[in-house]
Structure 1
Amino acid sequence: MDPRAFVRVSIGALGLRIAVASKAARAGVHASSSPCFCEIRLPYFSTQTVPVPLISPKSAAPNHRNIAACFYLDEPALLKLLSPSWFRSAPPRLEVVVFTGLQGSCCGVSERKLLGTFSLPVSLEWAEGKTIQLHAGWTSIGQGSSKGGGPAGAELHLNVKVEADPRYIFQFDGDPALSPQVLQIQGSLKQPIFSCKFSRDRGSRLRFGLADTPRANSWAGPFSEKEKERKERKGWLVMIHDLSGSPVAAASMVTPFVPSTGSDKVSRSNPGAWLILRPDPSGVDSWQPWGRLEAWRERGKWGLLGLRFQLVGEGGLGGIGNGIVVSECVINCKKGGEFLIDTVRFRPGNSPAISPVESPHSSGDCSFNLGLPAVGGFVMNCNVHADGKKGRPLVQLAMRHVTCVEDAAVFLALSAAVDLSIDACQPFSRKMRKEFLRSESSS
């Protein structure tokens, strides 16, 4: 598998100190009442706003492993930034603009105050694919600095690094419910690398050795099959096979998607769930849980899909308290969106630092880590189709998390489950697509 070149620009180890306390007071900077934050800007990318902790002049420098923000640039984005035709007046710059006060505005009036700005020009060395430390340490942003606006003696600590961060790109060659091939994309080349098999046959758990996974709860009462389909969605299974036809990952619906009381929608309080599985290295017909994906519809008229994904610890079966949440997001069902795992953008418990998060080992001798501070940042993303449409998930996966095909396969199984959750969570008053209404015998 050949990766596609990406560059990661990371900004971290943020801290602010002001040498003389009286000057800090006159500037309105008080650790207890005036929080500090910064806007990190790069042309053509969304501004990222993050807090900046105040540090005592006698304290040690911030931890260099604490990443505050990242930008990811592929070759077209780099060429656009470096093209002189786009910037006739001045070259593009990475800017870190520091403020004190509250983010946003009140009654249209901003309550923030500019302390200063740190900036670096975008240069050709960004495109060389090497690890480059552009800045590390303290720099003055107060009065007397090139763009100072704050008190004299105001200093910002930050690390800015550029490094290669290649990705594998895959695309389902059709809706996951139609059992498509999965292609790897490298430029204009599209090469089959996996196949996807969707099934509604509840008995398939036994054939594929999933009998030890949690079973979906059955509804009580003398319902007909059609009545059951209108009241619950369960038994969905996605198998990912390699080119030899061997199963290398699976997504099994282990908690049925059922409407909440007095509603026709799946609620946050009772979400449906998928278990993402990988082959157990001890046997062909045995599987181990790798992660758990929960999905629901948010309350309100806007049609929002809620998703939460957690890694499952060794020996666990994905209980709420038995995993590490690494992604939680809301997607507009009418427009579609993106499911993302990024340890910088999502931190469990809103921790200011990246928490160590280790994934279970892959099958065989393959293994990888998610969210370790040394390699924190982007892990994977996939697009999510809009409600009522068929999806063809496009999946991007950081190369550093892939050492064998099973590593990529579990993320593809997760992506299929994310995509199918749009259908599983649609209101029960609507008729399901025919792919989900086949009889058990035809699955």
Structure 2
Amino acid sequence: MDPRGFVRVLVGALGLRIPVASKAGGARVHALSSPCYCEVRLPNFPVETAPVPLIPSASPVPEPRNIAASFYLDEQALQKLLSASCLSLHSSCLEISVFTARQGSSCGLAEGALLGTLKIPVSFEWTEGIPVQIHSGWSCIGKDKSQGRCPGAELHVNIRVEADPRFMFQFDGETALSPQIVQVQGKMRQPIFSCKFSRDRSFRTRLGQPDTPRANGWSVSHQGDKDKDRKERKGWIVVIHDLSGSPVAAASMVTPFVPFTGSDRVSRSNPGAWLILRPEPTGASSWLPWGRLEAWRERGGKGKLGLKFQLIPEGGGVAGTGNGVLVSEMVIPMQKGGEFVVDTGRLKTEASPCISPVETPQSSGDCSFNLGLPIASGFVMSCKVPGERKSSKPTVQLATRHVACVEDAAVFMALAAAVDLSRDACQPFSRKLRSELSQSMEDPF
């Protein structure tokens, strides 16, 4: 089966050059002291906001690897943009509006005066699947009416479009009901994995995690009695199996989910946590930590789910959370749901060229588990999180460049399962858990 076609639109290398004083909304703007930001818009997508650094005239152009905004379009979304352009008098455009900001707000930015807007039309070049540089360099974004010319207020930006194919997977049922996981391509659904949910602590011992309060610096939970479900949620385990029945990844709840003192919610100060595990690549019957997912419930009447995922570096061991590399942290509204996303292009890390996309993975015994997430920029994976009390059959999208074989995808399925179950683990303790989550089940092997 082929991966699903996506393109990503990257906006970066932002810089503002104002060599002389200019007017904006009646206020004088100085090139070296006025804070600025931009809003990047693409039709049918949320607006993205980013700071725009001021560049002195003699300074070099901004670094093109500094990504300010990114948009991901599948074939349907791209065709919709192009069709709208054909049916109307105006082309669909990527718009970058630059504002001066007033200082003094809590986040350092407030609504400011518009300096100008740069518009880049959406074109059929975007559909070819070949990396295309749509725009690069300095552009005038406004005119000084008193002088009738561009006064030097210029925006530097680099806009490029490149293919970003993805694999799409879906759990065929609720995670706690141990469903199959299929790969989806159009109307075709091909079984790839199965997952097994359990609350049986015997599996933890098989993973090499001693049945003690702490193991190698990570807290390890124990199987609780049914009457303790309202006081703590612990011992949940999901094991991902390949089609031959061999376990290829796992998510183990290693820090119990307990309510904050005086409340019925899991707090950010004391989150529950999962350890995402993978087998030794050498084929030995032992497991290695791959990542750590923390989850909690934000304050507020409507409720929000907080998620934080850290990747454990190759050979980094499990000495503690300080060894993890943060690759995603977000808050998802539980009333309507959202998406958990790992996108390293949005992280404040040193970027490097991405690995080239690979063909549809085939099962093999020689798999690369050093997936390069801390350094490879761009989309990695996403998992839909439905609203609270809604049925959940997680849909996972995974960038092909991070998958050298089928088994490489398994850890992401384990991560998606942990994200999905965190929705239940973080629900108020005044509510009763579903029966499949509140009773011991058989051994996940």
1:267 aligns to 2:233 (yes or no): no
Task: Say whether the 8 Å CA contact 1:275–1:318 is kept in structure 2.
Answer: no
C-alpha spacing 1:357/1:383, structure 2 compared with 1 (3 Å): farther
Q: Is the 8 A contact 1:140 1:155 kept in 2?
A: yes
Query: How many Å separate the matches in 1 of 2:284 and 2:103?
Result: 54
Cα distance in 1 for partners of 2:119, 2:350 equals: 24
Assess, with a 3 A threshold, how the Cα gap between structure 1 residues 390 and 19 changes in structure 2: closer, same or farther: same
Equivalent residue, structure 2, for 1:393: 394
Instruction: Kindly indicate whether the alpha-carbon contact (under 8 Å) linking 1:198 and 1:237 is maintained by their aligned counterparts in 2.
Output: yes
- In structure 2, the residue matched to 1:71 is 71
User: In structure 1, what is the equivalent of residue 359 of structure 2?
Assistant: none
Please give the residue correspondences for 1:157-168 in structure 2 after superposition, counting only pairs within 5 Å.
157-168=156-167
Distance in 2 (alpha carbons) for counterparts of 1:316 and 1:357: 27
State the 1:365 CA deviation: 4.6
> Could you tell me which amino acid in structure 1 is paired with residue 415 of structure 2?
L
User: Is 1:368 the equivalent of 2:371?
Assistant: yes
Choose which of 216, 219, 236 in structure 1 pairs with 2:220.
216
User: In terms of mean alpha carbon deviation, does 65-74 or 318-327 score higher?
Assistant: 318-327
2-structure distance, mates of 1:143, 1:298: 46
Does 2:193 match 1:183?
Answer: no
CA distance in structure 1 between the partners assigned to 2:334 and 2:84 by the alignment: 40
Structure 1 residues 11-53: Cα deviation after superposition (integer angstroms, max 9, x where no partner): 1000011233x44799633366531111111111122111100
Q: Please, what TM-score do these two structures have when normalized by structure 2?
A: 0.87
- Stretches of structure 2 that go unaligned for 5 or more consecutive residues are 355-363
Q: Secondary structure at the match of 2:183?
A: strand
Tell me if structure 1 keeps the 8 A contact 2:367–2:408: no
8 Å contact from structure 2 (residues 170, 184) kept in 1: yes
What is the 5 A alignment of 1:109-120?
A: 111-120=111-120
Q: Does 1:294 align with 2:297?
A: no
Query: TM-score when scaled to structure 1?
Result: 0.87
Indicate how the Cα distance of structure 1 residues 278 and 357 shifts in structure 2: closer, same or farther if over 3 A, else same: farther
Following TM superposition, by how much is the alpha carbon of 1:207 offset from its aligned partner in structure 2, in angstroms? 2.9
User: What residue in structure 2 maps to residue 258 of structure 1?
Assistant: 258
Q: Which amino acid aligns with 1:189?
A: M
String of CA shifts for 1:46-76, please: whole Å, max 9, x gaps. Answer: 2211110001111111111101111111111
Distance change in 2, residues 1:320/1:442 (3 Å): closer
Aligned to 2:412: 411
CA distance in 1, matches of 2:123, 2:320: 48
Residue 245 of structure 2 corresponds to: 245
Alpha carbons 1:10, 1:69 under 8 Å: kept = yes
Summarize the Cα distance change of 1:2–1:340 in structure 2 as closer, same or farther, 3 Å threshold.
same
Counterpart of 1:10 in structure 2 is 10
Aligned counterpart, 1:94: 94
**Conservation of the 8 A alpha-carbon contact between 1:169 and 1:184:** yes
Aligned to 1:281: 281
- What one-letter code is carried by the residue in structure 2 that aligns with 1:200? R
Letter in 2 for 1:370: L
More moved, 399-408 vs 10-19: 399-408
Distance 1:111 1:415, change over 3 A: closer
Corresponding residue SS for 1:54: coil
Partner of 1:402: 403
Mapped to 2, the partners of 1:100 and 1:113 lie a distance apart of: 5
Distance in 2 (alpha carbons) for counterparts of 1:311 and 1:84: 41
Provide the residue aligned with 2:432 in structure 1: 431
The answer to whether the Cα contact below 8 Å between 1:343 and 1:377 also exists between their aligned partners in 2 is yes
Tell me what 1:305 maps to: 305
Q: 1:112 to 1:149 in 2, by over 3 A?
A: farther
After superposition, the C-alpha distances for 1:251-270 in whole angstroms (9 at most, x for unaligned) are 00001111122222211111
The residue correspondences of 1:221-236 to structure 2 (distance < 5 A) are 225-236=225-236
| Distance in structure 2 (CA, Å) of the matches to 1:33 and 1:17 | 12
CA contact (8 A) 1:309 1:326 kept: yes
Identity %: 61
Q: Within 5 Å, which residues of 2 pair with 1:28-43?
A: 28-30=28-30, 33-43=33-43
Tell me the distance in 1 between the aligned counterparts of 2:351 and 2:299.
31
How far did residue 200 of structure 1 move?
0.5
- Partner secondary structure for residue 265 of structure 2: coil
Q: 2:57 matched to which residue of 1?
A: 57
1:61 aligned counterpart, secondary structure: coil
For the pair 1:204 / 2:203, whether they are aligned, the reply is yes
User: Per-residue displacement from partner, 1:105-159 (whole Å, max 9, x unpaired)?
Assistant: 99xxx852222222221111110111111112222223289xx999611111111
CA shift in 2, pair 1:190/1:302, >3 Å = same
User: Conserved in 2, the CA contact under 8 Å of 1:35 and 1:100?
Assistant: yes
Aligned to 2:122: 122
Which secondary structure state, in structure 2, belongs to the residue aligned with residue 418 of structure 1?
Answer: helix
Cα deviation for residue 208 of structure 1 reads 4.1
CA contact 1:216–1:234 (8 Å) conserved in 2? no
